[in-house]
């Protein structure tokens, strides 16, 4: 859990910077469009769309952008037909990496991701090679300043959360994907604000990295995250706090 939590915190800080905002908006628009295409434009009947829109609102995306993305997904507006696929491989130190992609040109995107792995001391692997090392979970992060630990723990466990860990600045909560919306709503009903909330892939075990390997894993993760067609990047590493800083 600690490895995922640390990378989630790094991504949260990166997303908050103005330099990344345009790129983040592009990724979120794709996510909203695909969610609407899959399950329709009603957030009450489409939890994936609700989660995508919540993430867009957290990133301060204008409401008009969100509305257009939904309408492109439902077919009310003309939009790009994105293909979804996943690439798997290994990074420095033998870390398992999964990259979820949305693209209008699979061949181009595949070549780009292969090039990143090659340049950043990683290697691609076949489908299923590392996915078994991860579990799909609901993940929510609550800043400590939002509420006392005992209150947060009581609320999330009563709502069906599986676990809660306390870090230096925040609480990390994991759920079964089926209970994610219930836990998220329970926090909202108790006026406890989430810093992030998503359905994600949590590594079953993590690899401890130090020194050059730790710096190199951040390099490949950032390069993969920054690619226009990558939606999510998952890995099973843990590194010292001073490397992150």
**Residue ranges of domains in the chain, CATH in brackets:** 2-74 (1.10.10.200)
Closest CA relative to residue 231, chosen from 84, 48, 19: 84
CA distance 235 to 221: 8
Q: Look up residue 56 and give its two tokens.
A: 């867009």
Closest CA relative to residue 164, chosen from 173, 152, 154: 173
Q: Is the pLDDT of residue 19 over 90?
A: no
Question: Which pLDDT tens digit goes with each residue over 196-224?
Answer: 888 899 999 999 998 899 899 989 998 99
Say what the pLDDT of residue 243 is.
Answer: 61
Mean pLDDT, the chain, rounded, equals 89
| Whole-structure pTM value | 0.83
Question: Which pLDDT tens digit goes with each residue over 66-108?
Answer: 999 999 999 999 888 889 999 999 999 999 999 999 999 999 9
Q: Give the Cβ contact number of residue 34 at 10 Å.
A: 22
Question: Which pLDDT tens digit goes with each residue over 30-80?
Answer: 999 999 999 999 999 998 999 999 989 988 899 999 999 999 999 999 888
Say what the pLDDT of residue 22 is.
Answer: 73
13 band by pLDDT with thresholds 50, 70 and 90: low
**If you write DSSP's letter for every residue of the chain in order, what string do you get?**
-HHHHHHHHHHHHHHTSHHHHHHHHHHHHHHHHHHHHHH-S-TTT-HHHHHHHHHHHHTT--HHHHHHHHHHHHTSS----PEEEEEEEE-GGG-EEEEEEEES-HHHHHHHHHHHHHHTT-EEE-TTTTGGGEEEEEEEEEEGGGS-HHHHHHHHHHTT-SEEEE-SSEEEEEE-GGGHHHHHHHHHHTT---SEEEEEEEESS-EE--HHHHHHHHHHHHHHHHSTTEEEEEE-EE--HHHH-
Share of the chain above pLDDT 70, in %: 89
């Amino acid at each position: 859990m600690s490895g995922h939590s640390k990378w989630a915190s790094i991504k949260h800080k990166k997303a908050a910077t103005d330099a990344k905002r345009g790129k983040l908006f592009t990724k979120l628009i794709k996510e909203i469009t695909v969610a609407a295409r899959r399950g329709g434009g009603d957030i009450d009947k489409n939890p994936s769309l609700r989660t995508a829109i919540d993430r867009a609102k957290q990133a301060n995306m204008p409401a008009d952008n969100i509305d257009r993305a939904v309408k492109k997904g439902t077919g009310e507006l003309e939009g790009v037909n994105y293909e979804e696929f996943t690439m798997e491989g290994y990074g420095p130190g033998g870390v398992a990496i999964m990259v979820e992609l949305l693209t209008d040109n699979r061949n181009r995107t595949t070549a780009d991701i292969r090039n990143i792995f090659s340049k950043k001391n990683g290697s691609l692997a076949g489908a299923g090679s590392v996915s078994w090392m991860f579990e799909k979970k609901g993940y929510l992060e609550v800043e400590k300043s939002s509420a006392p630990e005992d209150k947060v723990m009581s609320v999330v466990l009563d709502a069906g959360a599986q676990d809660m860990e306390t870090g230096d600045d925040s609480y990390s909560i994991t759920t079964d994907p089926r209970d994610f919306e219930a836990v998220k709503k329970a926090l909202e009903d108790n006026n406890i604000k989430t810093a992030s909330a998503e359905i994600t892939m949590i590594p079953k075990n993590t690899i401890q990295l130090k020194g050059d390997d730790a710096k190199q894993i951040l390099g490949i993760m950032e390069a993969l995250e920054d690619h226009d067609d990558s939606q999510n990047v998952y890995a099973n590493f843990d590194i010292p706090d001073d490397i992150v800083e």
